[in-house]
Structure 1
Amino acid sequence: MNILLVRVSSLGDVVHNMPIVADILRHVPHARIDWVVEEGYTALVRLNPGVHRVIPFALRRWRKSLTSAATRAEMGAFRRSLREVEYDFVFDTQGLLKTAVVMRLALLAPAGQRIGLANATEGSGYEAISRIFHTFSVPVGVRTHAVERGRVVVATALGYALDTPADFKLSAPRVEPRPDWLPVQPYAVFFHATARAAKQWQVAHWITIAADLAARGMPVLLPWGSPSEKIAAEQLAALMPNAQVLPKLSMMDAVLLAHDAALAIGVDTGLTHIAAAFNRPTIELYIDSPRWKTEGNWSPDIINLGDEGQPPTVDDVRRAIAVLL
């Protein structure tokens, strides 16, 4: 059975789509699974050994130069890659017009089916027009967890029950040589940055928790992804004697950072969810986003704190650290 998964972005959503692969192979061991994903996330998807082929999608880059011959050639090659295999099932678990178009471009086997979401979940970016190419659409509850949403779609189509916790099946990243910035001793990482200011935790809280970890002899690493986030990291580090601002990281460097952490503390952002997917000791902080949507609920090594409009306190985080360390 040939299966194509279409989940192109964003980082956290790609991570939350991973358990579908283990689900399928548990119930259909002979399945060949391909995955279409934005080119920036291909290395991450390749860490899942159950994915046979990763097909890069570069719409974010292509749309900047749609009239260029090079871009048109790349788009043609992408279309041809979708038609190298006859797919028995094509699943769009994102539910956008762009992912529906990718679904439509894929070559179906004679009895093949295109399947996706029948409806939005609360607060999702679902586009109803995405149903236009479906063979059939799978309804999900409006408050279905981000991980469970895709799992439900695929399980319904393939006729199996979801009777196990989410299994991300991510292999350890291999980064050679070992980066100089990666400590030999156990470290904590603070995923403090997020695009939306309302989702950030108070600076004073981060500083207090860093001091607690310093008393344990644990260094704190501060990653960043944009110039403004770098400034924020530097401002935090100036007030944390045990903190190190990291250099600009590649995707695989960031995955390695999450994978090797003795403790990850982070707001609702993709890198926090990667740490949780690896079942690292992780504290997820929900400040201004609903916890039910993305909380790590598959491992006792993940503690979820706060909720939309109910940010966690320092004492909440201290108690979680005492449990995890």
Structure 2
Amino acid sequence: MNILVIKQSALGDVLHATAAIRNIRAAYPGARITVLTSPGAAQLYQHNPQIDRIILFDKDRLRREWKSHFLGLLKYIWQVMREVNQQSYDLAFDLQGLARSVIFLYAADARDKWVKGNWWMLGRFRQKELHAIDEMNRLLEKAGVPAPSRDMLLNVGDEDRRTVESLLQRINPEGKKLLILAPFTRWPTKEWGLDNFLRLINRLPDDVLPVFTGAPVNRAAVDSLTANRAVNLAGELSLLQFAELMRRADAAVTSDSFPMHLASAMNTPLVALFGPTDEARVGPLSENATVLRADVGCTKCYQRDYCEKACIRAISVDQVLRCVEDKLQLAQPSASEDNAAQISLSPRDS
């Protein structure tokens, strides 16, 4: 049996899809599973034993070459379609549901085709109110595939493990408790603010090592915060090295971003800070995760660039610090007033 799964982006969504792939493999243990994804996300599937074949489609070429190299872009899309159709499929799923993904589902030589969305002439399911993992699982169930698991899967190779082991020996020779701080997202409205992270690290006990992560473009911004005690790893890690570092961390503080989903997948104790997005739809499912959002009448507006209430910045440092100390199993400080609401999410919720 041959099965095609399409999931191109974003990184957190690609990681979510590993739960669906786990369910497909459990239902069809002898099947050959092919995954179509983007080059930037392929590392997340690299060591996944449930996947037999990975096909790459560079979705960013659509934006870069739509006007300047249109004929070349069409040729590239056709080449990927031919690669997809080197074999026929019994089942095919588009877990993305966007135009740039569903074209490959339409083109696939597949007997039974399903999409997360409302595209014509395809089996389909769409219910935005569900958690993203549950929505994909419900699509599988509509196609007759049992989907009981919500557990993501991310494996790291030996070389990346050794690299991170060497890194930790260098940055943390005293074996302090490791706290991952991931302050950056693609949405300004999701960010708690570097000023708040600075206040947080200044109040951490000496036996905690704060480690900032991010992209190369974030490195200069973090440098101003790490002069004294924090470590700046922005731009230094591959995705799988970051995954291994997250697995070894004692706790993490993130916004709604890929590091949050990674911490959830690795079951790392997590404090997830939410503003314009809905934790019921995209929040962490790990039992070790605590979600914080400010009690300021947030409407979960899903605005990327500007939120009038700046809800996430209303979460107090006191509240985050108490949650971090709880995750690190430190002594609780004396309580102080703040205006943040605390929500604990487990796999049974949402």
**Same fold, judged at TM 0.5 (above):** yes
Number of residues paired by the alignment?
A: 302
CA contact (8 A) 1:49 1:170 kept: no
- Give the Å deviation of 1:98: 1.1
1:116 aligns with 2:115: yes
Distance 1:268-1:4 versus aligned 2 partners, 3 A rule:
same
Partner of 1:269: 257
Structure 1 counterpart of 2:163, from 147, 170, 178: 178
SS in 2 for 1:242: coil
1:150 aligns with 2:136: yes
- Give the Å deviation of 1:283: 1.3
Partner of 2:244: 256
CA contact (8 A) 1:49 1:169 kept: no
- Once residues 163 and 83 of structure 1 are traced to their aligned partners in structure 2, the CA distance between those partners, rounded to angstroms, is 30
- Give the Å deviation of 1:147: 1.5
- Once residues 62 and 244 of structure 2 are traced to their aligned partners in structure 1, the CA distance between those partners, rounded to angstroms, is 29
Task: Give the AA of the match of 2:7.
Answer: R
> What CA deviation, in whole Å up to 9, does each residue of 1:175-197 have, x standing for no partner?
45515544453421111011222
- Once residues 319 and 87 of structure 1 are traced to their aligned partners in structure 2, the CA distance between those partners, rounded to angstroms, is 51
- Give the Å deviation of 1:63: 5.1
- Once residues 62 and 202 of structure 1 are traced to their aligned partners in structure 2, the CA distance between those partners, rounded to angstroms, is 32
TM-score, length-scaled by structure 1: 0.83
- Once residues 158 and 189 of structure 1 are traced to their aligned partners in structure 2, the CA distance between those partners, rounded to angstroms, is 40
Task: Give the AA of the match of 1:294.
Answer: V
- Give the Å deviation of 1:288: 2.6
Which segments of 5 or more consecutive residues in structure 1 lack a partner in the other structure? 119-127
- Give the Å deviation of 1:73: 6.3
Structure 1 counterpart of 2:325, from 305, 317, 322: 322
Structure 1 counterpart of 2:222, from 228, 233, 241: 233
CA contact (8 A) 1:189 1:220 kept: yes
CA contact (8 A) 2:85 2:109 kept: yes
Partner of 1:207: 198
- Once residues 270 and 84 of structure 2 are traced to their aligned partners in structure 1, the CA distance between those partners, rounded to angstroms, is 37
Structure 2 counterpart of 1:188, from 157, 179, 196: 179
1:169 aligns with 2:142: no
SS in 1 for 2:225: helix
Distance 1:97-1:73 versus aligned 2 partners, 3 A rule:
closer
SS in 2 for 1:237: coil
Q: How does 1:1-325 map to 2 (within 5 A)?
A: 1-61=1-61, 64-65=64-65, 67=69, 74-108=76-110, 112-118=111-117, 128=118, 131-134=119-122, 136-140=123-127, 142-160=128-146, 162-164=147-149, 166-176=150-160, 178=163, 181-182=167-168, 183-184=171-172, 185=175, 186-213=177-204, 215-227=205-217, 229-238=218-227, 241-246=228-233, 248=235, 249-297=237-285, 299-306=286-293, 308=300, 309=311, 311-325=314-328
- Once residues 47 and 319 of structure 2 are traced to their aligned partners in structure 1, the CA distance between those partners, rounded to angstroms, is 33
Q: CA RMSD in A?
A: 2.5
Task: Give the AA of the match of 1:168.
Answer: M
SS in 2 for 1:43: helix
> What CA deviation, in whole Å up to 9, does each residue of 1:4-56 have, x standing for no partner?
11110111111111100111222332232211111111111123221111111
- Matched residues, percent identical? 22
